[in-house]
Structure 1
Amino acid sequence: MGYLNKKEAKTITYTNPVGGMTRIGDPFVLKSRGNYYMYATSEPNFGFKVWESPNLVDWEEKGMAYVHFDQPKKWATGDFWAPEVVEHNNRFYMTYSARNLEGHLQISIAVSSDPLGPFTDLSTQIIKQEGSYIDGHIFIDDDGTSYLYYVKDCSENIINGKHVSQIFVQQMNNELTELLGEPQFLTEPDANWERPHDEYQWNEGPFVLKHEGIYYLMYSSNYFASHNYSVGYATAPNPFGPYVKAVENPILSKDLSLGISGPGHNSVTVGPDDETLYIVYHTHTIPDAPSGNRQMNIDRLYFEDGKLKVDGPTSTEQKIKVK
């Protein structure tokens, strides 16, 4: 529970995990209209819950933001994963992935006039290429150009006998309903910590930040239900790359001595002071038995000499600056 620190009236405190929710994954936080909204893999059979907070610390479940049964077209059968929401032209656009009627994982765009929803499908299966695709992330650049970063999932992406999840990007139209141009390959597992020789390999959960003209592509690697699920990043001079992975990766990883397992699939939001950045990520609810049962955490994220750094993962009391 967050409370005002009387000695320093400009801070509140928290201890990870935050929010009290379990059995979620892939937490994404949107700051809009003075509040925070969190969307997560939460009802994988039919949709997504949404939570609301005034300060990033105290969260209230607000019901379902998206329900597949309520859509005009029932295009999916399950595996509703990794929702993200951006505010664009006074509307809210959700990206998510689900399994289509043919058995492939595909990305859809849904829209709402309210961050709490309900969201209605706008462009189902926005990616036209064959295969399975997950983890759509919309990045809108300073000039207003929109991009969709996404993952070609390892379930159907077999390279030299290995199942490999790779990250791609394409430009979007201004309405966020179509992709333009050809897919641009960005990253795949190749560093030792990403276990590039395993039968199954992952670069997934892309999230892009821009800082002083440089694009920072954050991603997660390794199996989500393992202790080793971790976050790294790569940098590029433009949204299409080429992206170079940081030598100090991973920047967020397990600390089993603190009961922290599998930190990953992150988003980033700005704090209540409108200045400090926070990384939002999940960890395993039961560290000794990593699974899809996960919980939400937040920690400070910052830039130092061009490098992206995290004050975490933490399990002790932390402070958040407020106005």
Structure 2
Amino acid sequence: MRQILSIVFSAIMLSCVYRQEPQYNAPGMGNPLVPGYFADPTIKKFGDTYYLYATTDGIKLASGEPQVWISKDFVNWYNYEMEIDLPSGLTNCWAPDVLKGKDGKYYYFMGNCQFGCNIYGYVSNSPMGPWKPVNDGKPVIPVGTGKEHLPALDAQFVQTEDGKISAWFGTWCTSFGGLGWAELNSDDLSIERDGYIPLEQLPDVFEAPYPLKRKGRWFMMYSSGDCRLSDYVVHYAWADSIYGPYRYGENNPILSSSEDGTIDSPGHNSVIEENGEYYILYHRHDNPHSSGGEFRQVCADRLIFSDAYTIGKIEPSHTGIDYLAENSIPYKNRAFKAKTHASSFYHLLSPPTRFEKNGVDHAYLPEYATDDNNGTLWKSGSGALPQTLTIDLGKTRRIRRIMTQFEYPTFYYQYKWEVSEDSISWSLFSDKRSNRRSGSPMIDDGDTGARYVRITVTSTEKTGMYAAIWNVKVYDRLFEIPSFSNSEMAEGPGEMGERRLLVDLDVRDLTVGKINGSISNQGELEGEFTPVGEPLLTVTDNVRSISLDGESYLLLTKPAPKTLDWNAPFTVSVWVYNPEIEFGECVVSWNSRRNMLQASYAALMYGTGPYGAVAHGDGYVDVAFNEVPEAGKWHHLAITFDGMCEYIYVNGQLDRQFPLMLFVKTEQIKIGASGEISENFTGSITGVRLYDGFSTGQQIKEIMYETYPYDDPYENNQF
């Protein structure tokens, strides 16, 4: 009996081990499906090719270039930036869908909220574009369709039996009482009738409807919660007609975050059927979860129907669903799990945030570049370039092709690949140091034998982009690849800063009174600070300083350099006296507030509220002081940013740190103003410094002492 119980127990334990979900960072995981930050996936199959359309995420409020992923087998994907004739002023394409019309043409639809939340349509002879606008560029589905003021976003389109096109859309639906729909004429896409499905039929519906017909019955899948946080989930309801009435299904919600948090905020889905089997595509947050909740990645898992009315609970996985067609690359990736080392790698340490409740302690290790896992990333230890990654193939092998998946598929990287027998003497395999084409994977072909391969990333399209790679794959044979390639970009590459002292405003030796003319900038940027309004040179609490009245400020005649553009590291430091602390008062700004989307702005503030310390253009990524510095006293405030994490110092002590990336555009440098008059500073400022580089805690203290406004550093017991 004991032997029998032992055997049974062992079998149970083996079964548990067998079924245990691998860790998100295990090699060879099938989820995420593609490398990079993408959301709101729509999957289509035209002919023998899969097309994955998605919002390009990870860039200021999902504002990346419109693109499509193409695959023959559902595992090996190639990214292509599509040409779309967007209306002037639009900068993003959210939640796209594509429909093949009865005329044989392809129709691309996307949402945008820059001129009201509308859905626009485009047409092409190819599912890859180029796309030309329909309806003279006017919205196909304008805001307020179906229900008054209802935002028209997240649209999905289906052909009905009577030849019409049924469109389903909406976001913030809980605030508008339901989900919108419209029936379109398939010839000219004009709306023939419209309406909405009330919340009573679709409980908790927030956005992302996806209608699916199965065995004569319609299933309406949709998402609820906040896509930036962990409560985002998928529900469904069913009906006998696409227009309802709908009945809320069992097992809801059917897709939600995993207990360990590594599958976080899954939602906004689409579905594909292959050979009678159904698969759900959805997005989830990256690991570790980036600030802002908009660094999402696309995943795929099996969708099971329990019966004619019921969708079973979906088990979100890291393993994914594997091939849906014959493997288009039937050769071994020689770099898989190969030993690697790099010039550096980044170790992210962060306290808890609303996005990572337990904080972050994560190393972007070199071996993550050879693990064939789209959810793990090697990232260099800083934004400084060049950076190298070296792979040991174990023995000398023939090398015909190297495929590199950089962090951002829609931005270009400049690099070179070298090969070596002994890791000492190197020869050039491929030279892309002048490359201006984006893509994923980047493909480099040659014919050589070597044991070691080494990539050196020399430049990036945008300032402050790190050398970072999802996967490197090395093959000893060539095979068929798509013939398309992206167009060359004229912009860039980004200019890297060298921690130069660009701005140095020191008024300790100036005469008190009205500012006559301008004040020279003692930093390397040079130029003059010109007064706007009537700032004064005064003595405030024994400190000679610039006194601002809430209407006046200083403007530097030289614009901020490109070394402070995009995600550039920076340091800004100032001595400030605030007699009465308001909600948001700007002390120093150096980039544009125009088209201010999430993380597309940065300014040093001194106020209360969510952007009391740093303003970034969105309440989700603004940074407040941990403890607001006391009013009516001089304080030294400093922000420093390394391209991955922002650090706020008060009087030389770290007050807050917050992981994020920035997407700013440089503009004129202002002291005491942001460009929004309500944020003008009231108080006194002196000792302003601005560097185009990151500063350590020790360097922040050195700056503080160097700019100390009193003659005696121990005066007033300041330190």
The TM-score bracket by the shorter chain reads 0.7 to 0.9
Task: Find out whether 1:53 has 2:71 as its counterpart.
Answer: yes
In structure 1, C-alpha distance between the alignment counterparts of 2:120 and 2:287, rounded to whole Å: 31
Deviations 1:254-310 (A, max 9, x none): 004161000000011123xx4322111100013545601000100111322121235
**1:113 maps to amino acid:** N
Of 62, 66, 72, the residue aligned with 2:80 is 62
What does residue 30 of structure 1 align with? 44
Task: Find out whether 1:108 has 2:120 as its counterpart.
Answer: yes
Contact 1:278–1:300 (CA under 8 A) maintained in structure 2:
yes
In structure 2, C-alpha distance between the alignment counterparts of 1:135 and 1:317, rounded to whole Å: 24
Q: Whose strand fraction is larger, Structure 1's or Structure 2's? A: 1
Taking a change above 3 Å as real, the CA distance of residues 172 and 187 of structure 1, as seen in their structure-2 partners, is farther
Taking a change above 3 Å as real, the CA distance of residues 190 and 113 of structure 1, as seen in their structure-2 partners, is closer
**1:21 maps to amino acid:** G
**1:141 maps to amino acid:** T
Contact 1:261–1:284 (CA under 8 A) maintained in structure 2:
yes
Matched-pair identity in %: 28
What does residue 257 of structure 2 align with? 254
What does residue 166 of structure 2 align with? 147
Task: Find out whether 1:18 has 2:36 as its counterpart.
Answer: no
The alpha carbon displacement at 1:314 in A equals 0.9
Task: Find out whether 1:84 has 2:97 as its counterpart.
Answer: yes
**2:196 maps to amino acid:** Q
Taking a change above 3 Å as real, the CA distance of residues 53 and 165 of structure 1, as seen in their structure-2 partners, is farther
Question: Where in structure 2 are the equivalents of 1:300-315 lying within 5 Å?
Answer: 300-306=302-308, 307-309=310-312, 311-315=314-318
What does residue 199 of structure 1 align with? none
**1:19 maps to amino acid:** V
The alignment of Structure 1 onto Structure 2 pairs a total of residues equal to: 285
**2:295 maps to amino acid:** N
Taking a change above 3 Å as real, the CA distance of residues 97 and 150 of structure 1, as seen in their structure-2 partners, is same
In structure 2, C-alpha distance between the alignment counterparts of 1:277 and 1:204, rounded to whole Å: 22
What does residue 168 of structure 1 align with? 180
2:66 match: secondary structure? strand
Deviations 1:155-176 (A, max 9, x none): xx7xxxx845731212111226
Task: Find out whether 1:179 has 2:198 as its counterpart.
Answer: no
Task: Find out whether 1:278 has 2:291 as its counterpart.
Answer: no
Question: TM-score, structure 1 length as denominator?
Answer: 0.79
Contact 1:95–1:136 (CA under 8 A) maintained in structure 2:
yes
Q: Which has the higher contact order (CA 8 A, sep 6+)?
A: 1
Taking a change above 3 Å as real, the CA distance of residues 28 and 182 of structure 1, as seen in their structure-2 partners, is closer
Deviations 1:160-200 (A, max 9, x none): xx845731212111226111123233447975xx4xxxxxx
Taking a change above 3 Å as real, the CA distance of residues 257 and 84 of structure 1, as seen in their structure-2 partners, is same
The alpha carbon displacement at 1:79 in A equals 4.4
List alignment gaps of at least 5 residues for structure 2. 1-27, 327-719
In structure 2, C-alpha distance between the alignment counterparts of 1:82 and 1:166, rounded to whole Å: 19
**2:95 maps to amino acid:** A
**1:169 maps to amino acid:** W
2:81 match: secondary structure? strand
What does residue 6 of structure 1 align with? none
Taking a change above 3 Å as real, the CA distance of residues 185 and 311 of structure 1, as seen in their structure-2 partners, is closer
What does residue 569 of structure 2 align with? none
**1:87 maps to amino acid:** K
Taking a change above 3 Å as real, the CA distance of residues 300 and 317 of structure 1, as seen in their structure-2 partners, is closer
Of 110, 118, 121, the residue aligned with 2:133 is 121
The alpha carbon displacement at 1:253 in A equals 0.7
Of 297, 300, 310, the residue aligned with 1:298 is 300
In structure 2, C-alpha distance between the alignment counterparts of 1:176 and 1:282, rounded to whole Å: 32
Taking a change above 3 Å as real, the CA distance of residues 190 and 303 of structure 1, as seen in their structure-2 partners, is closer
In structure 1, C-alpha distance between the alignment counterparts of 2:286 and 2:201, rounded to whole Å: 26
Question: TM-score, structure 2 length as denominator?
Answer: 0.37
What does residue 467 of structure 2 align with? none
Please, what is the CA RMSD of the aligned residues? 2.6
**2:227 maps to amino acid:** F
In structure 2, C-alpha distance between the alignment counterparts of 1:289 and 1:236, rounded to whole Å: 38
The alpha carbon displacement at 1:38 in A equals 0.9
**2:187 maps to amino acid:** E
What does residue 155 of structure 2 align with? 136
Taking a change above 3 Å as real, the CA distance of residues 164 and 282 of structure 1, as seen in their structure-2 partners, is same
Deviates more, 1:168-177 or 1:108-117: 168-177
In structure 1, C-alpha distance between the alignment counterparts of 2:324 and 2:304, rounded to whole Å: 14
2:231 match: secondary structure? coil
The alpha carbon displacement at 1:47 in A equals 4.7
Deviates more, 1:292-301 or 1:130-139: 130-139
Deviations 1:192-251 (A, max 9, x none): xx4xxxxxxx52111111112111001011011011111111111111111111131111
In structure 1, C-alpha distance between the alignment counterparts of 2:324 and 2:73, rounded to whole Å: 10
In structure 1, C-alpha distance between the alignment counterparts of 2:126 and 2:296, rounded to whole Å: 27
1:135 match: secondary structure? coil
List alignment gaps of at least 5 residues for structure 1. 1-12, 195-201
**2:272 maps to amino acid:** T
What does residue 217 of structure 1 align with? 220
